[in-house]
Amino acid sequence: METSVTTTSRQSTTFTLVPLGLFLALLCVGFPSGLFDSYRDRFGFSTSVQSLLFAVYAFTLVPALLCTPLILRRTTPRGLYLIGTVALVLADIVFLTAPNVLLLFVGRAVQGITVAFLNAAAPQILLDLQRRRWGRFDPLVLALMTSAGLGLGLFGAKLLTGVSGDADRILFALHLLLTLGFLVVAVVRRPPTGENPGTDTGSETGSDQACTARRPQHLAAREEDHRTWNALGGWAGATSWSLGGLFLGLGTVIGDAASPGLAAVVPFLFFVAMLVGQLATRRITDISRALRWGLGGSVVSAVATAGAVIVASDSPGAFSATVAVLGSVIGGVSLGVVFVMATAVYERTTDPATEGPQTAVFFAKIFGGNSLPTLVVGVLTTAVGLNWSLTVLAAALAAASGILVVRIRGLEVSDPR
């Protein structure tokens, strides 16, 4: 009995620790976005340098993700996860001690590598533990930890910046302590290689119980279509995350352009709505239908946001403010739903034989969608203005979503079940 209790405790701890590492990594990534104003005052750099700091993270994250299958030839997902956590400690130290802008660039690059390694390793670890009956992969938990970490890091840093001039050092010092503590617990509580206690306990883990308590979700996919579904799930997540990068990265600019006084409201509403959308997926049973509706909501959000800014450029007022708020809320809920459902598609369609490359490509799409469109909007805004850049984004998002909806619907029809 004692062995059974100990094993079940380790199972529960493991399934908690793996997503928690992602939360800590994305929390750290969110800090600089909320501290850019403070850094700009301290080091005296321009907004173009700020854009480059954002770009460095994106341009290290995606290539690092795509390189993880090669790294996994030399180590296991658990080894990669450990390397990513150590890199997270290094990123904290760099930001904590950075005396100049150059080290900020180094810190952002290390953050990109950290998120790449952890995001490539965590899903594979959870899938492996699920096959060994340690519990069940929960797409909501994985998505929620990623989104919550990024948003809480951003808004927490902004809040503390208004209170203390040393907000960056306080945040990174606290985060460093948390990460070191997490690293110790993760090493101590790691599952022994090859152990398969799920067959011996005769009881459900906490993760199992949570999964059986939620509504079963169905994906109408034939096995021979799994690779296509996996690819479409990644593109769906990337398409919706283009709004995530937009609102969390440029939300204050959009809010201010739509109506004076909305600068802080728009990104915060988007973040809250995104979490609500993710939690709402507990009530969803049809994954493909949720993806289609979520993509449609993303289009509505992009069009509404562009429309609000265009209207406000002529006559800012209650109408443009209302449309901007609705756009942020609809976009947040849509992203929340699509991200969780796309992760559910990943879990159901990933082939164990090609798990490493599929994981790398899937999440490279997600994080590329989060970062690259926002960079493009920033560049276009400088050249042609915010109105046109948001219009271009809305048109591109509508086209991509339309193609994805047609492809998803076609795969559904082709499934005889």
**386 plus 254 within the same structural domain:** yes
Asked whether residue 198 is assigned to any structural domain, the reply reads: no
Q: Residue 132 CB: number of other CB atoms within 10 A? A: 16
State whether 238 and 209 are in the same domain. no
Please return the burial class of 149, using the count of CB atoms within 10 Å of its CB with bins 0-12, 13-18 and 19+.
buried
Is there a contact between 118 and 54 (Cβ–Cβ < 8 Å)?
Answer: no
CATH number at residue 153: 1.20.1250.20
The predicted model gives 287-308 an average pLDDT of: 95
Q: Looking at the predicted structure, is the pLDDT value of residue 211 above 50?
A: no
* Contacts for 269 with CB less than 8 Å, ≥ 6 apart: 325, 328, 329, 332
What would the two tokens of residue 280 be?
A: 């709402």
Q: Is the pLDDT of residue 199 over 80?
A: no
* 324: in domain: yes
Given 181, 213, 245, which residue is the final one in a domain? 213
**Mean pLDDT, the chain, whole residue set:** 86
Whether residue 312 is found in the same domain as residue 332 = yes
- Shared domain for 14 and 162, answered yes or no, is yes
> pLDDT grade, residue 227 (50/70/90)?
very high
- Tokens found for residue 284: 């969803």
pLDDT of residue 213: 46
Site of tokens 């533990």 = 129
Is residue 87 within 8 A of residue 23, CB to CB? The reply is no
Residue 250 within a domain: yes
Q: Clarify whether residues 185 and 272 are in a common domain.
A: no
Q: Does the global pTM surpass 0.85?
A: yes
Q: Which carries the bigger pLDDT value, residue 189 or residue 110? A: 110
Whether 34 and 150 map to the same domain: the answer is yes
Q: What is the pLDDT of residues 241-260, one digit of tens each?
A: 999 989 988 888 888 888 88
Tell me what pLDDT residue 10 has: 60
C-alpha closest to that of 17 among 153, 126, 136, 172: 126
Rounded to an integer, the average pLDDT of 48-68 is 87
Distance CA 258, CA 325 (A): 9
Per-residue H/E/C for the chain: CHHHHHHHHHHHHHHHHHHHHHHHHHHHHHHHHHHHHHHHHHHCCCHHHHHHHHHHHHHHHHHHHHHHHHHCCCCCHHHHHHHHHHHHHHHHHHHHHCCCHHHHHHHHHHHHHHHHHHHHHHHHHHHHHHHCCCCCCCHHHHHHHHHHHHHHHHHHHHHHHCCCCCHHHHHHHHHHHHHHHHHHHHHHCCCCCCCCCHHHHCCCCHHHHHHHHCCCCECCCCHHHHHHHHHHHHHHHHHHHHHHHHHHHHHHHHHHHHCCCCCCHHHHHHHHHHHHHHHHHHHCCEHHHHHHHHHHHHHHHHHHHHHHHHHHHHCCCHHHHHHHHHHHHHHHHHHHHHHHHHHHHHHHHCCHHHHHHHHHHHHHHHHHHHHHHHHHHHHHHHHHCHHHHHHHHHHHHHHHHHHHHHHHHHHHHHCCC
Residue 197 lies in a domain: no
Question: Could you tell me if 111 and 237 lie in one domain?
Answer: no
Q: Which of these three, 161, 182, 213, is where a domain ends?
A: 213
Cα 18 from Cα 77, distance rounded (Å): 11
| CA dist., res. 415 & res. 185, Å (int) | 45
- Provide the sign of the torsion angle of the four alpha carbons 268, 122, 366, 168, taken in this order: positive
The confidence score (pLDDT) of residue 47 equals: 67
The pLDDT, as a whole number, for residue 15 is: 73
Is there a domain that residue 2 lies in?
A: no
Within a 13 Å sphere around the CA of 303, how many CA atoms are in the beta-carbon half? 10
Could you tell me the residue range of the domain that residue 384 belongs to?
Answer: 223-414
Give per-residue pLDDT as tens, 73-90. 999 999 999 999 999 999
**Per-residue pLDDT averaged across 216-225, rounded?**
82
Report the C-alpha gap between 30 and 34 in whole angstroms: 7
Domain count, the chain: 2
Both 34 and 60 in one domain: the answer is yes
Whether 39 and 159 have beta carbons less than 8 Å apart is answered as no
Average pLDDT over residues 36-57: 80
**Residues 234, 185 share a domain:** no
Q: What is the pLDDT of residue 7?
A: 52
Residue 281 inside a domain? The answer is yes
**Do 184 and 331 reside in the same domain of the chain?**
no
Does residue 397 belong to any structural domain of this protein?
yes
In this structure, is residue 304 part of a structural domain? Answer: yes
Do residue 170 and residue 282 come from a single domain? no
Domain boundary among 158, 182, 213: 213
- Percent of the chain past pLDDT 70, that is, above it, reads 89
Tell me, yes or no, whether 171 and 262 share the same domain. no
401, two tokens: 């979503």
